């Protein structure tokens, strides 16, 4: 009798999951979907792309955002000092200008949100809400006044570092190497910047931040922090991912981690697989000193798919993070157009519904998926504004 009841229960659970899976497009459409990190604005400036139109390259444009059911898109403003000679702050403003121009040209479909209230109002009109996130503290050039000016233009978060240190904070790429321990973390000026961000209601983003910087920020910040596009170190030991101790501290802080779609942060075998397939396809002329991006670009479409991490790897990271920090602290930060390889089936922003489908098939309830896909990001945005 007990075996029969267990079997019946299992059948009903499987049937419910199948039903939800079949209805995933509507379930996805009914949610507020927030992608917390996308790098297409940089690409649009230097590649001369009009992302208001459908593109045959890259992962992002306005038509595909609409197809993917993305309601709120954070557009990352990024500047590499070595490539931009006229100043990172100027470059940041040039990217915001480009975003504003795109929005003005497509005003019937998208609008800029500078607050949580703006997002609510924009979504009621059926438009996509665009948010600005500044990726790299180099763009404030050490100036709190420039931080304020970027916030006034709409920047809702500042990623403190990229893959190099700034004078007031150290990054994960450098802290994970032979960096002097005395130089790690926040300086007193860095702490003042964090306090000003709290005052402004601007999210502190610790993706790319070093471990010491991470803990220094938590000791200073009076608001929940964001880790906009990182994953679980335990599943993929890359310096860009968070260790278990960091995840526990994030939970205590009330912050949120946005899952990154990059195959190299999801699957520890990605780079080895890429090099093997690249060498096989290119043959004796294969240049193994090239970047992973350059190698990937030379592959055929079929080879790229073979190299990409399975979608299951992304779902594994979500499962792990939910277990570690709880369902209220996990979000999405795809990093589209800042990565060369995304999971199989999630090659561009139009494919977001397939992530909802995968979560349904893993047994997540609709309400919990809604938290991951958008509500958690919006919650800490509002909490930082208070």
Contact present, 99 and 132 (Cβ < 8 Å): yes
Q: Which helix (H) or strand (E) is 318 found in, with range?
A: helix 311-325
Summarised one tens digit per residue, pLDDT across range 176-201 is 988 888 899 999 999 999 999 999 99
Q: Is residue 4 predicted with pLDDT exceeding 80?
A: no
**C-alpha to C-alpha distance for 347 and 344, rounded to whole angstroms:** 7
**C-alpha to C-alpha distance for 360 and 370, rounded to whole angstroms:** 11
What is the full DSSP assignment across 40-94?
HHHHHHHHT--TTS--SSSS--HHHHHHTT--EEEEEEE--TTT-TT-HHHHHHH
pLDDT at 5: 47
Write down the mean pLDDT value for the chain.
Answer: 93
**Paired tokens of 335:** 């990093």
CA torsion sign, 148 to 153 to 155 to 159? negative
Q: Is residue 24 predicted with pLDDT exceeding 70?
A: yes
**Residue written as tokens 């009798």?**
1
Which residues make beta-bridge pairs with 232?
A: 242
Q: Which domains does the chain have, with CATH numbers?
A: 2-267+309-385 (3.20.20.140)
SS3 of residue 12 by DSSP? helix
Let me know if 306 is exposed, middle or buried by CB neighbors in 10 A (0-12, 13-18, 19+). Answer: middle
State mean pLDDT over 228-246: 98
**Residue written as tokens 């459409």?**
29
Q: What percent of the chain has pLDDT over 90?
A: 88
Phi then psi dihedrals of residue 327, to 5 deg: -65, -20
**C-alpha to C-alpha distance for 206 and 375, rounded to whole angstroms:** 20
Which residues make beta-bridge pairs with 38?
A: 75, 336
Which residues make beta-bridge pairs with 228?
A: none
**C-alpha to C-alpha distance for 148 and 168, rounded to whole angstroms:** 17
Which residues make beta-bridge pairs with 205?
A: 159, 226
SS3 of residue 291 by DSSP? coil
Q: Is residue 19 predicted with pLDDT exceeding 70?
A: no
Give the closest residue to 349 by CA, choosing from 113, 38, 101: 38
SS3 of residue 1 by DSSP? coil
Contact present, 51 and 61 (Cβ < 8 Å): yes
Lowest-confidence range among 16-25, 146-155, 218-227, 353-362? Answer: 16-25
What is the full DSSP assignment across 97-156?
HHHHHHHHHTTTTEEE-SSHHHHHHHHHTTPEEEEEEEE-GGGGTT-HHHHHHHHHTTEE
Contact present, 225 and 250 (Cβ < 8 Å): yes
Contact present, 156 and 131 (Cβ < 8 Å): yes
- Selected residue with higher pLDDT from 323 and 17: 323
Give 10's pLDDT tier (boundaries 50, 70, 90).
very low
């Amino acid at each position: 009798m007990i075996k029969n009841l267990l079997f019946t229960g299992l059948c009903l659970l499987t049937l419910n999951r199948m039903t939800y899976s079949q209805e995933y497009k509507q379930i996805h459409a009914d949610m507020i979907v927030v992608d917390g990190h996308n790098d297409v604005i940089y690409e649009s400036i230097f590649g001369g792309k009009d992302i208001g139109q459908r593109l045959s390259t890259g992962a992002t444009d306005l038509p595909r955002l609409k197809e993917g059911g993305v309601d709120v898109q954070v557009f990352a403003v990024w500047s590499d000092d070595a490539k931009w000679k006229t100043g990172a702050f100027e470059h940041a403003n040039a990217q915001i200008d480009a975003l504003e121009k795109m929005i003005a040209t497509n005003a019937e479909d998208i609008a800029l949100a500078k607050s949580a209230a703006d997002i609510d109002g924009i979504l009621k009109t059926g438009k996509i809400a665009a948010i600005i996130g500044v990726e790299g503290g180099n763009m404030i050039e050490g100036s709190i006044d420039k931080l304020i000016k970027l916030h006034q233009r709409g920047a809702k978060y500042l990623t403190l570092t990229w893959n190099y240190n700034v004078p007031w904070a150290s990054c994960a790429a450098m802290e994970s190497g032979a960096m002097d321990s005395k130089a790690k973390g926040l300086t007193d000026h860095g702490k003042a910047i964090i306090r000003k961000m709290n005052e402004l209601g601007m999210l502190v983003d610790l993706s790319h931040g070093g471990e010491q910087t991470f803990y220094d920020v938590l000791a200073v910040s009076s608001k929940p922090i964001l880790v906009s596009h990182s994953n679980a170190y335990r599943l993929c030991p890359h310096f860009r991912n968070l260790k278990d101790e960091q995840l526990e501290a994030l939970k205590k802080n009330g912050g949120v981690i946005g899952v990154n779609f990059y195959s190299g942060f999801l699957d520890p075998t990605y780079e080895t697989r890429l090099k093997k397939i690249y060498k096989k396809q290119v043959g004796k002329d294969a240049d193994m000193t090239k970047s992973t991006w350059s190698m990937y670009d030379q592959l055929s479409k079929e080879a790229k798919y073979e190299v990409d991490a399975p979608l299951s790897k992304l779902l594994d990271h979500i499962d792990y993070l939910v277990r570690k920090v709880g369902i209220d602290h996990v979000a999405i930060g795809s990093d589209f157009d800042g990565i060369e390889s995304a999971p199989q089936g999630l090659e561009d922003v139009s494919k977001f519904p397939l992530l909802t489908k995968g979560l349904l098939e893993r047994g997540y309830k609709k309400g919990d998926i809604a938290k991951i896909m958008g509500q958690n990001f919006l919650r800490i945005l509002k909490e930082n504004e208070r």
